[in-house]
Structure 1
Amino acid sequence: MSPPPPGGGQRAGRRVTVLGYCIVASAVMLASALQASIGFGIGLLAAPIVALVDPRLLPGTLIMVATVVTLIVVIREREDIDLRGTGWALVGRVPGTIAGALLLAMLPHRALVILLAAVVLGGVVVTSLGWIPVARRRNVVLAGAASGVLGTATAIGGPPMALVWQRNTGARLRGTMSGFFLVGSMMSIAALAATGAIDGRTMWGVVVLVPAAVAGYLLSRPMNKFLDPKRLRWLAIGVSSVGATVLIGRELLAIGG
């Protein structure tokens, strides 16, 4: 199972094996289970692994796959969504999305990969310190802008919103986060398409990985009986830390070589 060969405006790169796509699909499945349980995490957990196997699938393919999961969760938790909070977060998301698309178009690939890893590690540090900001209007708008930049440029837009909304729990957290990310992801996809960052390989990746995302959503239901959201969150943080560290190490070694 190989993607169509690059051509035209597609980015050239190494050929990804069936094993490589199996690794990516497994990461997406586990990350989707996490997202369906706590409302975020698919970018945080899956993006470092996707970047190691086939960075050409970032950020477009992963954003599109995440949109499928968030849509399912929004439908399931629609009665618990904080519409007012979601609205203010989207006010910030618009300029953040534009900035993220421009950043993606201007930065060289290696710089973008290192940025992705740094975002993951930054989220880990902030979460570990236990800082909880108040979800007042200004903070929510600023978090929405930061999420727009990071989500569009790296497919990791969850940490800013998780930080500002971490006082919410259960269905309210899942529903509100998913409502924001559903609209925000569609903004990011439009911005990426406008800058030429979505091509045939991007869409092929979506076709291959959506079944894994749906499987992850289904897996989240029985998983919740054994792993509560807090444990799932810390599992994602641990795996993301390892993935981001390996990613930075690989790029630094490539620079040195």
Structure 2
Amino acid sequence: MILGALAVAFAGFIGGLTGFGASLVGTPLLLLIGFPLPQVVVINLIATMITRLAVLHRERHHIDWRRVAVLGAASLPGAAAGALTLHLLPPHALRILAGAVVVLSGLRLLLRPTREPHPATTAKQTIAGLLGGYLSTTTSLNGAPPAVLLASAKVPPRTFVGDLAGYFVVTNCLSLLLLLTAGQFHTADLGPQLPLFVLTALAGNILGGRLIGRVPRTVFDRAIVGLIVVSGVVTMISS
């Protein structure tokens, strides 16, 4: 329980700083500690959704609400596909494909940085939402696709964090409902651990959030791209 709480707190700190890295950090740490993937998915989805509510309120004046609506709406069919095919299709193979796409996108941003932003069109938002939704119910690593989109568009850091907060609140809520409906909502044996994990995630998130705007833009951009690449790798190797 203590190791899990520390892992979730650290993940919350990274999530508060970058806007999307909580599940990326929390998933491998919780798996390493010994939590099964189905429980890790539920822990990450709940903790991220709750912590992002506070961020959503804090950054409400910096959010592109239309973009959040498109990303959230597009995530629904992807999340449904993930929940329904979790045991019908080889999800590991699909995660490898999705992870490869994320890695290639991150490497594209890393190796060929552009000075001019690439507009986040509605079509791109829809694709990012679909892929993120699928990753949400299968691995909880649903932040990388929209993060790639926003990093490519070079949105300001506070808009980056705020838009992702809105996306996570919508997508994680839908994903939890879909997992519950599909009988994939695994909280057995967690007991008092889940509330503790949520509280430690909130504490870490608050600390990380205080650093937004204090980190130089170049460092912020490089950290985001690095997390995107690692997120894709973790998606591919998660099981």
> What TM-score does the superposition give when structure 2 sets the normalisation length?
0.79
Q: Which amino acid aligns with 1:126?
A: S
Deviations 1:151-201 (A, max 9, x none): 111101111101112121221111111111101110001000001111443
- Tell me, yes or no, if structure 1 residue 218 matches structure 2 residue 209: no
- Helix, strand or coil: the match of 1:106? coil
Q: Does 1:126 align with 2:117?
A: no
1:197-253 CA-to-partner distances (Å, cap 9, x unmatched) read 1144376342231122012112214555468533543664687588678x56xx7xx
Tell me, yes or no, if structure 1 residue 185 matches structure 2 residue 172.
yes
Q: Is the contact between residue 80 and residue 134 of structure 2 (CA under 8 Å) also seen in structure 1?
A: yes
**Which residue number corresponds to residue 162 of structure 1?**
147
Q: Distance in 2 between matches of 1:188 and 1:241?
A: 20
Match of 1:8 in 2: none
Q: Is the 8 A contact 2:139 2:235 kept in 1?
A: no
Contact 1:40 1:177 in 2 (8 A): yes
Instruction: Give the Å deviation of 1:50.
Output: 2.0
* 1:125-158 deviations in Å (ceiling 9; x for gaps): 4212217753111111111111111111110111
Q: 1:230 is matched with which residue?
A: 221
> What does residue 37 of structure 1 align with?
17
Aligned CA distance change for structure 1 residues 46 and 118 (closer, same or farther; 3 Å): farther
Code of the aligned partner of 2:126: V
Unaligned runs of 5+ in 2: none
Aligned in 2, Cα 1:222/1:185: closer, same or farther, shift over 3 Å?
closer
| Aligned 8 A contact 2:68 2:167 in 1 | yes
Distance 1:200 1:58, change over 3 A: closer
Q: SS in structure 1 opposite 2:86?
A: helix
Name the structure, 1 or 2, with higher relative contact order (CA <8 Å, separation 6+).
2
- Larger Cα Rg: Structure 1 or Structure 2? 1
Find out whether 1:54 has 2:48 as its counterpart. Answer: no
Q: What is the distance in 1 between the residues matched to 2:84 and 2:198?
A: 27
Are 1:207 and 2:195 counterparts? yes
Whole-angstrom CA distance in 2 between matches of 1:239 and 1:106: 27
Aligned residues: 225
Aligned 8 A contact 1:44 1:120 in 2:
no
- The question of whether the paired residues in 2 share the 8 Å contact of 1:34 and 1:233 is answered with no
Preserved contact between residue 50 and residue 58 of structure 1 (Cα < 8 Å): yes
Cα distance 1:46–1:117, how it changes in 2: closer, same or farther (>3 A)?
Answer: farther
The one-letter amino acid of 2:7's match is: A
Match of 1:255 in 2: none
Unaligned 5+ residue runs, structure 1? 1-17, 252-257
Q: Match for residue 175 of structure 1?
A: 162
Q: Which shows bigger deviation, 140-149 or 28-37?
A: 28-37
Q: What is the distance in 1 between the residues matched to 2:132 and 2:229?
A: 21
Alpha-carbon spacing, 1:221–1:155, altered in 2? closer, same or farther (3 Å): closer
1:77-116 alignment, distance < 5 Å = 77-107=59-89, 112=92
3-state SS in 2 of match to 1:156: coil
1:72 deviation in Å? 1.1
Q: Partner of 2:188: helix, strand, or coil?
A: helix
Residue identity opposite 1:210 in structure 2: V
Structure 1 vs Structure 2 CA RMSD = 3.0
* Cα displacement string for residues 95-146 of structure 1 (whole angstroms, at most 9, x for unaligned residues): 11110111224357xx54x765775565344212217753111111111111
- Between 25-34 and 191-200, the greater mean CA deviation after superposition: 25-34
| Structure 1: distance between partners of 2:102 and 2:58 | 27
* Equivalent AA in structure 1 for residue 71 of structure 2: A
